[in-house]
Amino acid sequence: MAIRFTKMHGSGNDFVVIDSRDGALALDVAVIRAMADRHTGIGFDQLLSVEPARDGSSAFYYGIWNGDGSPSGQCGNGVRCVAAWLHRAGALPLGETVRIQSPSGPVAVRMLDAHQVTVDMGEPIFDPARIPFDAPHVTNRYVLDVDGQPVEIGAVSMGNPHAVVVEDAVSSKAMARLGPALTAHPRFREGANAGFVQKLSRQHLRLFVHERGAGWTQACGTGACAAMAVLRHRGEVDERVQVDLPGGSLHIEWSGPGQTLWMTGPAAFVFEGEWLDPQRDD
Ligand SMILES: N[C@@H](CCC[C@H](N)C(=O)O)C(=O)O
């Protein structure tokens, strides 16, 4: 079984995009993991499928799987790559706003040029039950027990769950321990993406993200949205913020509750290929 794919990245968060416009993509977890392997496979943080819309008001649907084969509800850098992929396929004209559906609901994408995409990511969700996060009521700060130590976080969903640690300086040693611990913390029953954000100013953030299902990443689009949303909810940043991640910068705009959040950033093509499943000879 040969699978044609396009390798792409958004600020270093890398993807395999599969054209599945003729029907929903169904791949075994073992195949996704084999493809994601950075030594014996293609290597990627997430696999994305471009599929026919599943509702009447969207143009397309995209599926998201992490490198460990687990599904996700949203992928900020990924949706920009899907938009650029659709643009290259002639299905998304420059400047036009098009609604596409993710597993967690619709988003609206607009190509600013062939490599820059702006996305209406919807409204950040702070209600713990909808994240899902185990807490009796919504608040700006929660304290988690991590190996007997208190760790303060903000919790939000951008269509996928995020724990956000706001620190002036988090040592790389502390992040190496806390990233995996927060990702697997039992109060996030579906796991979480763990972001460590440093406030450089009211318009400028620095962020590192340990992703559920993919580990440390060069960039996490929803992580950047989540970090901005948590800080804006606390009144600590302005409504337009630049978020610097190891692989590049994203621009996030959110005026506050009741409004949707916008993310703008790059999408890049790397190569086209054909996956030859080593377990099969056909
Ligand atoms: N890289 C992504 C997020 C991918 C999904 C995440 N690991 C999850 O399981 O929710 C992004 O750019 O948002």
**What digits encode the pLDDT tens for the residues 65-81?**
999 999 999 999 999 99
Residue 170: pLDDT band (50, 70, 90) is confident
Q: What gap in Å lies between CA 83 and CA 52, rounded to an integer?
A: 14
Q: Would residue 247 be called left, alpha or beta, if left means φ above 0 and alpha means ψ between -120 and 50 degrees? A: alpha
Q: Is 63 in the pocket of ligand 1 (CB under 6 A)?
A: no
Question: How far apart, in whole angstroms, are the C-alpha atoms of residue 53 and residue 65?
Answer: 18
Share the mean pLDDT of the chain: 96
pLDDT tens readout for residues 1-39: 799 999 999 999 999 999 999 999 999 999 999 999 999
Tell me how far the alpha carbon of residue 232 is from its chain's centroid. 19
Residue nearest to atom 1 of ligand 1 (CA): 220
Residue of 222, 263, 264 best suited for mutating to test ligand 1, as the one with most atoms within 8 Å of CB = 222
Tell me the domains of the chain and their CATH numbers: 2-122+267-276 (3.10.310.10), 128-259 (3.10.310.10)
Active site residues: 75, 220
pTM of the model: 0.97
Work out the end-to-end distance of the chain between its first and last CA atoms, rounded to an integer number of angstroms.
6
Quick one: three-class SS letters along the chain? CEEEEEEEEECCEEEEEEECCCCCCCCCHHHHHHHHCCCCCCCCCEEEEEEECCCCCCCEEEEEEECCCCECCCCHHHHHHHHHHHHHCCCCCCCCEEEEEECCEEEEEEEEECCEEEEECCCCECCHHHCCCCCCCCCCCEEEEECCEEEEEEEEECCCEEEEEECCCCCHHHHHHHHHHHHCCCCCCCCCEEEEEEEEECCEEEEEEEECCCEEECCCHHHHHHHHHHHHHCCCCCCEEEEEECCEEEEEECCCCCCCCEEEEECEEEEEEEEECCCCCC
Q: Of 9 and 281, which is predicted with more confidence?
A: 9
Beta-bridged to residue 218, according to DSSP, are: none
Amino acid at the residue 208: F
How far away, in angstroms, is 181 Cα from ligand 1 center?
17
Q: Does ligand 1 have an atom closer than 6 angstroms to the CB of 25? A: no
Determine whether the shortest distance from the Cβ of 213 to ligand 1 is under 6 A. Answer: yes
Each residue's pLDDT tens digit, 47-104: 999 999 999 899 999 999 999 999 999 999 999 999 999 999 999 999 999 999 999 9
Please list the residues that pair with 109 across neighbouring strands: 98, 119
Most ligand 1 atoms within 8 A of CB, residue of 72, 117, 210, 249 to mutate:
72
14 lines ligand 1 (CB under 6 A): no
